[in-house]
């Protein structure tokens, strides 16, 4: 056999051995358990308690906004009309309360005082007449009937004087305490109605409650929206987490507080995550029903993990993978 044939045969055998070895190695090499998750973010839907037409829209999708920045303004002429009505009712109640607090007018008080003085003069005259009739009666000059008439007249004038004084005191004192309290309560009620309408009007101007990013603008300027209709969706980019759906037979490796090494294809790099939520999902997993083998159905758990440190460029919807075999 030629030397070249021997070399060729040897090389062929080596190639076959290497190929078979590689095939066997790849065949018995364990496949890594990769768990795939998705980045999620806290979202806030901005709506108004009022129904109205959008008069001003100050943001657009993708825009970064600061806390307290104006987002949109509603036109609400009906509510403004109700505010004027409520303010008018409050003014009327305030006038009634002031009237009850001040009491009667000066002219009414003076009139009551004059009537009291007139009644006092009548009492003095009746007293003098009674004293004269009494002396004459005791001297036997006048009959008992004249004495009784003078006494009755004195008592009547005293009663008239008491009534006039009561009228004067009432005019000076003003309304009763209950009336003043009722008038004050009406003022409070009307003020509450004004405050309620003012709160609705202030809700016509919507401001950003957070530093965030405008994800969607559902209604545009000029459109009519209903009460509670979500107009803008904001994303809080400082509140991101990754959600994984994991079979319960993989859970022994992790617990609340576990740190995972994950890979983000969208960033082309690895990040660290800390598990802060583990909860069972509502339904059984149908892909692992093995009762015919004497085993049990395996449930799926939802696991949430947050980045240990802030990750620039991480956005909702990105895919995140974790090699479960590397968890220790």
Per-domain residue ranges of the chain: 30-42+237-326, 43-76+202-233, 83-198
Q: What is the mean predicted confidence (pLDDT) over 48-56?
A: 86
For residues 112 and 324, give the distance between their C-alpha atoms in angstroms, rounded to a whole number: 98
The count of C-alpha atoms lying within 13 angstroms of the C-alpha of 139, restricted to the half-sphere facing its C-beta, is 8
Where is average pLDDT lowest: 17-21, 103-107, 139-143? 103-107
Where is average pLDDT lowest: 7-16, 212-221, 276-285? 7-16
pTM here?
A: 0.58
Q: What is the mean predicted confidence (pLDDT) over 50-74?
A: 90
Burial of 216: CB neighbours in 10 Å, binned 0-12, 13-18, 19+: middle
Give the model confidence (pLDDT) of 280-304 as tens digits.
887 654 444 444 455 556 788 999 9
Burial 285-324 (b: 16+ CB within 10 A, else e): eeeeeeeeeeeeeebbbebbbebeeebeebebebebbbeb
Cβ atoms 306, 262 nearer than 8 A:
no
Q: Cβ of 76: how many Cβ atoms within 10 Å?
A: 20
Question: How much is the pLDDT for 124?
Answer: 81
Q: What is the CATH number of domain 30-42+237-326?
A: 2.40.30.170
Give the model confidence (pLDDT) of 126-158 as tens digits.
788 778 877 877 777 778 787 777 778 778 777
What DSSP element (H or E) covers 135?
helix 106-139
Q: What is the mean predicted confidence (pLDDT) over 253-258?
A: 91
Q: What is the CATH number of domain 43-76+202-233?
A: 2.40.50.100
């Amino acid at each position: 056999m030629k030397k070249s044939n021997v070399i060729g045969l040897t090389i062929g055998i080596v190639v076959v051995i290497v190929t078979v070895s590689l095939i066997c190695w790849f065949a018995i090499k364990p496949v890594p358990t990769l768990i795939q998750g998705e980045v999620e973010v806290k979202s806030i839907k901005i709506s108004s308690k009022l129904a109205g037409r959008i008069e001003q829209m100050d943001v657009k999708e993708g825009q970064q906004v600061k806390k307290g920045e104006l987002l949109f303004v509603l036109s609400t002429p009906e509510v403004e009309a109700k505010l004027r009505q409520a303010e008018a009712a409050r003014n009327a109640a305030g006038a009634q309360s002031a009237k009850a607090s001040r009491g009667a007018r000066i002219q009414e008080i003076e009139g009551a005082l004059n009537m009291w003085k007139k009644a006092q003069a009548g009492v003095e005259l009746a007293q003098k007449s009674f004293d004269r009739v009494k002396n004459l009666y005791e001297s036997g000059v006048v009959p008992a009937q004249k004495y009784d008439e003078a006494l009755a007249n004195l008592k009547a004038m005293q009663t008239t004087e008491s009534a006039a004084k009561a009228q004067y005191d009432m005019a000076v004192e003003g309304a009763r305490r209950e009336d003043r309290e009722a008038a004050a309560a009406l003022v409070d009620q009307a003020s509450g109605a004004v405050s309620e309408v003012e709160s609705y009007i202030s809700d016509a101007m919507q401001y950003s409650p957070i530093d965030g990013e405008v994800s969607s603008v559902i209604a545009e300027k000029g459109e009519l929206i209903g009460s509670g209709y979500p107009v803008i969706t904001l994303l809080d980019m400082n509140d991101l987490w990754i959600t994984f759906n994991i079979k319960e037979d993989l859970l022994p490796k992790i617990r609340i507080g576990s740190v995972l090494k994950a890979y983000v294809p969208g960033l082309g790099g690895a990040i660290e995550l800390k598990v802060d939520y583990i909860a069972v999902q509502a339904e059984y997993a149908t892909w692992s029903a093995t009762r015919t083998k004497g085993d049990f159905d395996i449930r799926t758990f939802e696991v949430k993990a947050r980045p240990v440190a802030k990750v620039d460029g991480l956005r909702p919807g990105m895919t995140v993978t974790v090699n479960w075999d590397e968890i220790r």
